């Protein structure tokens, strides 16, 4: 998987699984751990997340990442059923003593943090800015998707043309 594909796929997983929304709910309750908070607001997000997980889990763009993160354990029917009994109005300490709830939080936190990290590390600002500027100036940028086959990048360059290659 190319770097740019990895970054895009992780970002898509975070969006489709509603990871940011689920984390916002958890974190809102964790701000004041001694106060009751309605963690039940996570349940509708969780089932929307499950529906989207079912749609993407077999897609080759996402399956390897989801398997690496043990997503299948989070989205089992048994686990989801148990989570709905845990995610109710409660104090944070009650939520944090339940391994299923902690695993749910950790999973979505890992997805979001991995997405952010990959964007920051694998896509340097200069490459992104330069790519956007070049596209806006009419320069075509393409990516060779067949790894290990075809010509080396330098062999695509025709000295009479002005090509710029950005390799991942």
Q: What is the pLDDT of residues 125-166, one digit of tens each?
A: 545 555 555 556 565 555 554 555 555 656 555 555 555 555
What's the pLDDT tens digit per position in 64-86?
999 999 999 999 999 999 999 99
CA distances from 74 to 9, 56, 144, 157 (A): 19, 15, 35, 48
Beta bridge partners of 89: 38
What is the residue extent of each domain of the chain? 3-122, 125-156
Q: Which residues of 58-95 are buried (b: 16+ CB within 10 A; e: fewer)?
A: eeeebeebbeebebeebbeeeebeebeebbeebebeeb
What is the mean predicted confidence (pLDDT) over 42-67? 96
The chain-wide mean pLDDT, for the chain, equals 84
Question: What pTM was computed for the model?
Answer: 0.74
Strand (E) positions, 14-162? 37-38, 89-90
């Amino acid at each position: 998987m190319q770097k740019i594909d990895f970054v895009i796929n992780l970002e898509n997983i975070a969006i489709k699984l509603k990871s940011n929304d689920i984390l916002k709910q958890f974190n809102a309750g964790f701000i004041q751990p001694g106060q009751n908070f309605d963690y039940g607001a996570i349940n509708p997000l969780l089932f929307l997340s499950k529906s989207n997980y079912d749609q993407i889990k077999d897609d080759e763009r996402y399956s390897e990442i989801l398997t690496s993160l043990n997503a299948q354990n989070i989205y089992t029917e048994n686990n989801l059923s148990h989570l709905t009994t845990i995610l109710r109005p409660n104090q944070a300490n009650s939520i944090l003593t339940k391994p299923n709830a902690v695993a749910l939080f950790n999973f979505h936190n890992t997805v979001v943090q991995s997405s952010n990290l990959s964007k920051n590390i694998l896509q340097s600002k200069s490459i992104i800015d330069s790519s956007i500027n070049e596209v806006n100036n009419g320069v075509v940028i393409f990516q060779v998707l067949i790894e290990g086959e075809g010509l080396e990048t330098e062999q695509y360059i025709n000295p009479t043309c002005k090509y710029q290659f950005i390799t991942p």
